[in-house]
Every structure is written in C-alpha cells, then in structure tokens.
Amino acid sequence: MTDQITVAVIGLGWMGAVHSRAYNRLTHHFDDCPRPVLVAVADDAPGRAEAAAARFGARRHCLDWRDLITDPDIDAVSVTVPNFLHREIGCAVLEAGKHLWIEKPVGLSAADATAVAEAAAAHHLRTAVGFNYRAVPAVRAARTLIADGAIGDITHARIRLFSDYAAHPDGALTWRYSRELGGNGVLGDLASHGADLTRFLLGDIDALIADTATFIAQRPEPSAATTGHQLATGGRLGPVENEDYVSAQLRMASGARCVLEASRVSVGEQNSYGFEIHGTRGRVAWDYRRMGELQLAQGDHYTDAPVSDVHVGPGSGDYAAFQPGAANPMSYDDLKVIEARGFLRAIAGTGPAVATVDDAVASAKTLDAMTDSVATGSWVSLRR
C-alpha cells in the first residue's frame, strides 16, 4: 500500500474547512489507509486560501484553482465549491490526472454528474462524493438489519430532510436561489441526500411522482459578498427561481412504497433528517439529531409491537474508530473523516469509497425525474 497520498482542497468555505480537517485527523482514527499530506489549497476570495493554508498546514495556496491542478506533486483533490462549478472543476481535476473527492450533488443535473463520471472512467481515476449520511454507523446498522430480513419484507418508508436555513424572508438572494447557479434548489441541496439514502437502504427506484413549491418568492439582494446563509435586510428584492420544498412518492423496484420529502424553509426544524422504514415484521427508524440511536421493532408481535431505542456502538460501521462504547456521540465532522478514509483506500486499491460519482449520477437522475414529474403532472419511470 502507498505510504502517503498528497491532497489539495479547492474551495475554503465551511465545507472546504471540513475536508481539510478530515485529512488532518485521518491518522488519528485509522491506520489502514495511506497518510494524506495536504499540499495546497485554492479559493478565489482574497485572503481565504492564505488563511486556510496557515490554519491547516498546507504548503502553498492560490487564488485560481487552475494553478493548483497543474501541480504534478498533487495526487488527489477535494472540490467543495458551489454546485454550478462542480462539472467544470470536477472534470478539469480528473483530466489533469488527479483523483476526485467532490461534494454532492455534482452539478446541476444528471448530465453534469454523468460528465464527471465519464471523465473519471476515461482517465481510470477514483472518485468519492459527499453523501455523508451513508457513513453514519447507525445508518449502516439499519441497512444490515434490512438486508438480513430482521424487519421482514419492506412495505413502505418515509425519508425526510427538513431544514430552516432559508426560512427567514430576509435571507440574502445568493447563488443558491438562482436556477442557473443553484439548479433545482432544495432538490440538489437536501433531496439529493434523500434520493441516495433511499437507494442505499432500499435499492433501486422504479418510478416516482413529485410536487414542488417555492414559498418565499422574493429575497433581498446582498450589498456585499456573503458567506453561508446571511441576512440582507432592506436590499432590493429579486426573484427566487428554484424550489423551497419537494415531496415525492416512490415505487421501489422491490415493490415497496416510499415518501421522500425535503424543505429548506421549515420553521422549527434544524437539520431534521431521518427515516422510518416499515417491514412485514418490524420497523427501524433513525434521526440525524440523535445520530447514534435507532428505534427498532422486530419479532412476531405484529400488533402492539414494542419499540426499543438501540444505541449503536463498536461493531456498527466505523464507530469503533471514534468511540470505545455505545451511546458515546459522534459528530458530522467524524463522518467526513470516514469519507476521507474511504477515498484514500479507493485510491490505494484497498477498499471502496463511501459513495462515488456513479452514486451521484443515480441520485441526479432521481432529481431530474422529480423535475420532469412536476412539469408533466405524471409518474416518471426510472427503469434502466
């Protein structure tokens, strides 16, 4: 196995910092993958790359990501830029011969994600995509329970991703609300995770019908550069061009039914992500805000079946690399360390990535089908 892999990060906002920390923390938790060496960082915001280089120990920094990908000393690159740049930068990284870890949704459409996947295949390079909820040990445990038939044959499920980050009507009109730059709004931002979790836990989607809505039609334009989800009270109002909310009914290839729902304007819901999955002999449920727990009903009770709160621990996913015993909490950042490990193991040929660009293509096709369904008012098939 290769002793070390040199890495770089493009985009040093919050997510770029998370990737940088994940690389720096990796050897604290795992010894079965190459050691990442953070060589360079790039961001076009003045001063941001320089500050990140000093903070995370990168050898150099630059404003233009094109200068970074031509460096022959870099083996792999993290891309954590806004969605509309994913295709251009992702393909350029791969065409420069670098392995790619890119955040979801990998562009604005299935065509964008497919272009990145084709570039990876053409150059025989490894990819990883930030579907981080796959890495949660409790989610892994739920997947095993389902696959083992512990709750019987799956009948129906509900997957939700509710957030309030866009609930304030004075939230600045940033790129996120532009169709050209932010794509299909909450579909790409949150429902992309839901589409991937559905496939990860329940298998392929056969067909779907969807509905979307934009509840805050206008937002104030910012007077200066923004980061995150800042307010812009008093600015000139401009139109919100993409979706605040989506709900979809899914017919699974297995015959199960599923409801997928996502919102970025849910007042009172902070990162309310989770699922409830029902089978002929039980139920399993998970809430991201109680990341290490499952609600589980199983057995021959059927009616009035008791439900247990199960705390996952060592033996579930990669939990043991972070905590010694059940019920000790893990964090979002820990999930990114698990992703980094999978990425480097994939490069070294010693294990799979948590998710790849091929998984992003599958998710994006589901989102495109939702958009098509809204336009036609009818069911859309996803059969391959």
Q: How confident is the model at residue 232 (pLDDT cuts 50, 70, 90)?
A: confident
Sign of the CA dihedral with 158 first, then 161, 166, and 168 last: positive
Domain with CATH 3.30.360.10 in the chain: 137-290+292-329+354-380
Given a cut of 80, whether residue 184 has pLDDT beyond it is yes
Given a cut of 70, whether residue 7 has pLDDT beyond it is yes
Mean pLDDT, range 232-253, rounded to an integer: 93
pLDDT of residue 384: 65
pLDDT of residue 218: 96
Q: How confident is the model at residue 226 (pLDDT cuts 50, 70, 90)?
A: low
Given a cut of 80, whether residue 131 has pLDDT beyond it is yes
268: exposed, middle or buried (C-beta count within 10 Å: 0-12, 13-18, 19+)?
A: exposed
pLDDT of residue 183: 94
Report the alpha-carbon distance of residue 160 to residue 379 in Å, rounded. Answer: 20
Mean pLDDT, range 203-221, rounded to an integer: 97
| Residues forming a β-bridge with 244 | none
Report the alpha-carbon distance of residue 296 to residue 152 in Å, rounded. Answer: 12
Q: CB-hemisphere CA count at 13 Å for 296?
A: 20
Given a cut of 80, whether residue 225 has pLDDT beyond it is no
Sign of the CA dihedral with 43 first, then 161, 29, and 117 last: negative
Instruction: Please tell me the CATH code under which domain 4-132 is placed.
Output: 3.40.50.720
Closest by Cα among 370, 360, 361 to 208: 370
Q: How confident is the model at residue 222 (pLDDT cuts 50, 70, 90)?
A: confident
Tokens coding 71: 């460096």
Report the alpha-carbon distance of residue 20 to residue 11 in Å, rounded. Answer: 10
pLDDT of residue 180: 94
Distance, C-alpha 127 to centroid of its chain:
14
Given a cut of 70, whether residue 228 has pLDDT beyond it is no
CATH topology of domain 137-290+292-329+354-380: Dihydrodipicolinate Reductase; domain 2 (3.30.360)
Amino acid at 313: G
Closest by Cα among 91, 73, 86, 81 to 43: 81
pLDDT of residue 231: 82
Closest by Cα among 250, 253, 316, 249 to 284: 316
Report the alpha-carbon distance of residue 227 to residue 220 in Å, rounded. Answer: 15
Closest by Cα among 36, 15, 14 to 25: 36
Closest by Cα among 136, 150, 76 to 289: 136
Amino acid at 59: R
Q: Cis link prior to 105 (omega < 30° from 0)?
A: yes
Domain with CATH 3.40.50.720 in the chain: 4-132
Type and span of the H or E element at 356: none
Mean pLDDT, range 83-107, rounded to an integer: 98
Mean pLDDT, range 11-33, rounded to an integer: 97
Tokens coding 259: 């409801």
Report the alpha-carbon distance of residue 127 to residue 118 in Å, rounded. Answer: 11
Q: Is the CB of residue 132 less than 8 Å from the CB of residue 343?
A: no
Could you read off the pLDDT of 321-351 as tens digits, one per residue? 999 999 999 999 999 999 999 999 999 999 9
pLDDT of residue 1: 57
Q: How confident is the model at residue 35 (pLDDT cuts 50, 70, 90)?
A: very high
